[in-house]
Structure 1
Amino acid sequence: MRRLARPTLLALPALALAVAGLFHPHHLTYDTSWRWFTLHLPGLLVFPLVGLALAALVGTRTDPLAWAIRVTAYVYATFYTALDVISGVAAGYVTHELGPGVPRPEAVSLLFRIGTPLGELGSWALLATCALVVVDQVHRHRARGAVALVLLPGAWLVHVGHIFAPEGVVGMLLLGVGTAAAATADATPPN
């Protein structure tokens, strides 16, 4: 039971975002704006934890690969949180405050124009982090470390689908499962 505590804890951020993705509206309108806004508020706390969980897989190691994982996880956490603040919290709040029946002003579109590329940079960093984690896991655990490969399609699905259902939800599920699997491989003694 104790052996599963760390993998479960490291999987929780991505799994929580997968659940949130089931409720994430696909389009921002006045009718969806309050849900859009309120879903992104806790996202400010949870999106960075996905990167932290991946960085935690290298523990306190100080080798270059461990540092590369930490740095790319940090870049993901920073830029994806910027997306969350701008295109999630700010755009949702402004759209709701404008009231019903008001067409989206150019100012809200401008929020997406800056939030989207910041999120894109963050999602590329997430892909890089996952690729580095796979290299690290396979290097240290050989075939047993290959369980981390599920991180790659997970990160790709988040890259193309944010946390929108179905792609983003599946992507976050795979990130949670892959992080837990890598943590389990770390905790399993070699044969």
Structure 2
Amino acid sequence: MDRRAYAAVLALPGIALGAVGLLHPHHLSYATADRWFTLHLPGLFVFPLVGVALAALVGRRTDPVAWLVRLAAYTYATCYTALDVVSGIAAGWVTRELGPGVPRPDEVRLLFRLGTPLGEVGSWALVVTVVVLLADQLRRHGLRAAGGVLLLPGAWLVHTDHIFAPGGVAGTVLLGLGTAALALARPAERVTRTLPPATTG
């Protein structure tokens, strides 16, 4: 795959989450519950892909730094998916099913009490992922990897604002752009072709 196309593919999860964030309600109530629930369904599949894209940047390396990036990205993907399921899908569905005019019951508050700490672990794991990855890529590729610095504010904004607009939207988009920048920083792989031995007639 062409490097630019590969970079675009790796950027897509973050940018897609930014688009979803523009529609994400800031508060859960009966009036917003249907949209809250519906938007978190695709999130179930897209949130982990941000971690997959970041882990892909270490390629097939087997050194400790590469495994640390993979482990941190996996922790982010797992815990943030749990947040999406509990505080997004479950809380939105329960609130919608309760009907209009019903105050948020303790059961929904308990869902957030479960989901929020899981999301906190996931967002800190995302911060660790980008810090370790960026340091590694700058060491390996020098200034070519400078665009990856976008990952730092991106991960921090997701940590503080989730995907809520405007901060969270900016954060996810920066994650996508920073991931693409690091993909473009990698030198093109050289393909060595083995020619068949010449034959004599």
TM-score scaled to structure 2, two decimals?
Answer: 0.92
- Please state whether the residue corresponding to 1:58 is helix, strand or coil: coil
Deviation at 1:188, TM superposition (A): 5.2
User: How far apart in 2 are the matches of 1:83 and 1:161?
Assistant: 14
Given the alignment of the two structures, is residue 99 of structure 1 paired with residue 99 of structure 2, yes or no?
A: yes
Runs of 4+ in 1 over 3 A off after TM superposition: none
User: How far apart in 1 are the matches of 2:172 and 2:117?
Assistant: 20
Matched-pair contact (CA < 8 Å) for 2:3–2:183: no
Deviations 1:70-116 (A, max 9, x none): 00000000000000000000000000000000000000000000100
Deviations 1:44-86 (A, max 9, x none): 0000000000000011110111000000000000000000000
Deviation at 1:145, TM superposition (A): 1.6
Matched-pair contact (CA < 8 Å) for 1:3–1:187: no
Deviation at 1:143, TM superposition (A): 1.7
Name the counterpart of 2:59.
59
When structure 1 is superposed on structure 2, of 115-124 and 132-141 the one drifting more is 132-141
User: How far apart in 2 are the matches of 1:172 and 1:187?
Assistant: 26
> Alignment identity in percent?
66
Q: AA paired with 1:64?
A: P
User: How far apart in 1 are the matches of 2:33 and 2:21?
Assistant: 15
Name the counterpart of 1:125.
125
- 1:74-153 matches, cutoff 5 A: 74-153=74-153
User: How far apart in 1 are the matches of 2:52 and 2:136?
Assistant: 16
User: How far apart in 2 are the matches of 1:26 and 1:145?
Assistant: 35
Name the counterpart of 1:68.
68
Given the alignment of the two structures, is residue 21 of structure 1 paired with residue 21 of structure 2, yes or no?
A: yes
Q: AA paired with 1:76?
A: Y
Structure number with larger C-alpha Rg: 2
Deviation at 1:187, TM superposition (A): 4.0
User: How far apart in 2 are the matches of 1:3 and 1:51?
Assistant: 19
Which runs of 5 or more residues in structure 1 are unaligned? Answer: none
Q: AA paired with 2:176?
A: G
Alignment coverage as a number of residue pairs = 189
TM-score scaled to structure 1, two decimals?
Answer: 0.97
- Please state whether the residue corresponding to 1:22 is helix, strand or coil: helix
Higher helix share: 1
User: How far apart in 1 are the matches of 2:133 and 2:144?
Assistant: 13
Deviation at 1:37, TM superposition (A): 0.3
Deviations 1:108-138 (A, max 9, x none): 0000001001000000000000001111110
User: How far apart in 2 are the matches of 1:15 and 1:123?
Assistant: 17
User: How far apart in 1 are the matches of 2:12 and 2:145?
Assistant: 20
Matched-pair contact (CA < 8 Å) for 1:11–1:176: yes
